[in-house]
Structure 1
Amino acid sequence: MIIDETLAHYSDLAFESAFAVLVLAFVLLIVEYASSKAWAVQDREAARELVSAGSSSVADAPSVPGRVAAGPRRRSPAERAGNMGRTVLVVGTVLAVASIVLRGLGTGRFPLGNMYEFVAMACAASLALGLVWLRKPAYRSLWVFVLVPILVLMFLAATVLYADAAPVVPALQSFWLPIHVTIICIGSGMFLLSGMASILYLIRMRHPRGEEGTGPLAHMALRLPDAQTLDRLAYKSTIIAFPLFGAGVILGAIWAEAAWGRFWGWDPKETVSFITWIVYAGYLHARATSGWRDTKAAWINIVGFVAMLFNLFIINMVVSGLHSYAGLN
């Protein structure tokens, strides 16, 4: 198989550009988020003015920080930075997807042959799904937190996990590669959104009225959506990712039978993937069980998220098994 070095180089440039653009988006969104305290103070003053002007109660006042019902106001520099950040975020997502497409064209195969390509695909999936799931105004502040693990993963992919464009090992030269691994990538990307939503849900439960609290977590919770909204986001993400991930595990077993002559051999990757799937099944069960559907269920979801990361890094990089295709030197 001939490798097109030019396209492979453009793929690397696109990935590096995507990382730089996403860092810029992150900074712009932080600027918007950091101004939330001033917006909250302004809204409370506007609420008092409405009440004094004849409103029946404070409930008539605006409840969304940064939006005042007393009349239009000029957008602050921070708000404009936030709008720019969301636009830049779209550009970064396009570049991340372009890097994957160029990698595939340059290698003449589906670009999921090593950990670098897997992490790049999972990050692109998280970004694309986030643009869909977090498009509502109530969810936009979550990007500040969702981008943190994505940027960390992209940095690790470009440094520790990077592998030159090359043909895949014979065991991966199968039509099952794009089917099995793509489904796992999409499911993992949705689990990332779900895990972050549960982490923020626990913070919001601890500080339900962040503007009245003290300490870094209280200020962090200032412009987060309410706890119920975060809980619903985590649940909706998991309830879609769960069958996808399960289908990926089943398809992997079918591929294993074709490649190794058995459906299941309790290989470390298979075992931890199954455990991760069971943990998420436990989360969905807890989410529907009285007495467990609040913070207990959220903690189970976070355990599933940690298990997924453990399966990605520790199992691939430390534990030796039949799935050791990290592509690391």
Structure 2
Amino acid sequence: MEQVFTTESTLLTLELRILYAVIGLYVLSCLLHISQAGVSVFFRNFFFGKMATNLLYLAVIGHTLLIIIRWIEQGQPPVQNKYECLSWFAWCNTFTYLYIRRRWSELSMPGIFVTMLSIAALFLAINKYDPTVTPIAPALQSPWYFWHVLIAFGAYAVFVVGCSVELSYVIIKGLGYAKKSWEDFGLPSLDVQTFHGITYKLVLLGFPLLTFGIISGAAWADDAWGRYWSWDPFEILSLITWTAFGMYLHAMSIPKWRETWGSTLCLLGFASMLITFMGSGFLTKLFGLYSMHAY
């Protein structure tokens, strides 16, 4: 028994050391992304952006190793509690950003928001939640649970990258740099319609994923608690997020609404998504609401 306890403590210590190193790489990458955006105001130089991307690759490799260790340790996908879900959320965001950046190599400035969000998720995980591996709760033993989490995080990651692109453009235009080459800021050197197209394609991919995530979540709820829908605060917030992105897609299909409502609805959906995943627990405690969705 003592040997098992020692082994678990050693693995946990190793995991935390890797996690701190990964957070450090995320922070450095974020600072370099910010430096790239600042330098781009005056000079056409992409040194900091390239360094930021390379560090982000190292961070994702380390984070992947951490997830593998955790998976082997408990024999289950590491999405069994809030600590693990926050870690998985951060990994999905950065992995998706790097993959999409290979498709649109000009994307750099959105990396600021992707890395910031990943850092925030990991800081929340290590400061608020217990990293110790615990027995799997009965409600999480449903086969629907893993598919629900996998699909939902896939949707979240695509939304994070797409909305980071949108937010980058909104900020640059708001600061009055609209006449400067978009490429100087690490954004596609394309016209505004093409930029909207990038965000639109990503949200268009994420929306059906979120839809199936909600459906699989309902199936999981029925399997675990005997009902598909209970108007749980998390369920309501998920429905609001789904509605906001659905309205965004509808607005983008109407030419005269693209400029007036497109960015607003996209960022509204993004904010709703963040509140759903990272803030729902705080809101339920603040207002004294009961929620079965503690994960």
Kept in 1, the 8 Å contact 2:211–2:242? The answer is: yes
- Work out which of the residue numbers 229, 245, 249 in structure 1 matches 2:210: 245
Query: Which of 25, 37, 51 is equivalent to 1:21?
Result: 25
After superposing the two structures, state which structure 1 stretch, 222-231 or 147-156, moved more: 222-231
Match of 1:180 among 148, 156, 165: 148
1:93 to 43, 46, 60: 60
Alignment correspondent of 2:78: 111
SS in 1 for 2:128: coil
- 2:92 is the counterpart of 1:125: yes
For 1:258 and 1:146, locate their aligned partners in 2 and report how far apart those are by CA, in whole Å. 34
Deviations 1:245-269 (A, max 9, x none): 1101101111112222221221222
Residue 236 of structure 1 deviates from its aligned partner by 1.5
Confirm or deny: 8 A CA contact 2:19 2:63 kept in the other structure.
yes
Query: Which has a greater percent of helix?
Result: 2
8 Å CA contact 1:11, 1:98 repeated in 2:
no
Runs of at least 5 residues in structure 2 that lack an aligned partner in the other structure: none
Give yes or no for contact 1:7–1:105 (8 Å, CA) kept in 2. Answer: no
User: Equivalents in 1 of 2:49, 2:294: separation in Å?
Assistant: 40
C-alpha root-mean-square deviation of aligned residues, in Å? 2.5
3-state SS in 2 of match to 1:137 = coil
Q: 1:115 to 1:305 in 2, by over 3 A?
A: same
Identity of aligned residues (%): 27
Aligned to 2:122: 154
Is the counterpart of residue 82 in structure 1 residue 49 in structure 2?
yes
Contact 1:37 1:211 in 2 (8 A): no
In structure 2, relative to structure 1, the CA distance for the partners of 1:14 and 1:228 (3 Å cut) is: farther
Q: C-alpha deviations, 1:284-315, integer Å up to 9, x for none?
A: 00111122112411111111111111112332
**Is the Cα contact below 8 Å between 1:191 and 1:305 reproduced in 2?**
yes
Aligned twin of 1:305: 270
Whether the aligned pair in 2 keeps the contact of 1:316 and 1:323 (CA below 8 Å) is no
CA deviations over 1:214-256 (Å, ceiling 9, x no partner): xxxxx9x955445444422221111111111110110111111
Flag the 1:313–1:32 CA change in 2: closer, same or farther, 3 A.
closer
2:219 is aligned with 1:254: yes
Query: Which one has a bigger Cα radius of gyration?
Result: 1
Counterpart residue number, 1:36: 40
Are 1:233 and 2:198 matched, yes or no? yes
1:144 aligns with 2:112: yes
**How far does the alpha carbon of each residue in 1:9-43 deviate from its partner, in whole angstroms, 9 at most, with x for none?**
3322222211111112223333333222332xxxx
Counterpart of 2:255 in 1: which secondary structure? coil
TM-score by length of 2: 0.85
1:307–1:140: structure 2 CA closer, same or farther, 3 Å change rule? same
Per the alignment, do residues 87 and 313 of structure 1 end up closer, same or farther by CA in structure 2, a change over 3 Å counting?
closer
* Other-structure match for 1:134: 101
Deviates more, 1:25-34 or 1:264-273: 25-34
Secondary structure of 2:139's partner?
helix
Q: Which consecutive unaligned segments of at least 5 residues does structure 1 have? A: 40-64, 67-78, 213-218
Match status 1:283 vs 2:253: no
Q: Determine helix, strand or coil for the equivalent of 2:201.
A: helix
The aligned amino acid for 1:97 is: T
Change (3 A) 1:206 1:82: closer
CA shift, 1:102, in A, is: 1.5
Residues 1:140 and 1:199: Cα distance change in structure 2 (over 3 Å) = closer
Paired residue total: 282
Structure 2 match to 1:102: 69
**Contact 2:142 / 2:223 at 8 angstroms: preserved in 1?**
no
DSSP-derived class of the 1:168 partner: coil
CA distance, structure 1, for counterparts of residue 268 and residue 51 of structure 2: 34
What letter corresponds to residue 281 of structure 2 in structure 1?
N
Q: Distance in 1 between matches of 2:27 and 2:83?
A: 19
Give the AA of the match of 2:292: H
Secondary structure of the structure 2 residue equivalent to 1:266: coil
Aligned to 2:233: 268
Name the CA shift for 1:13/1:295 in 2 (closer, same or farther; >3 Å): farther
Are 1:12 and 2:16 matched, yes or no? yes
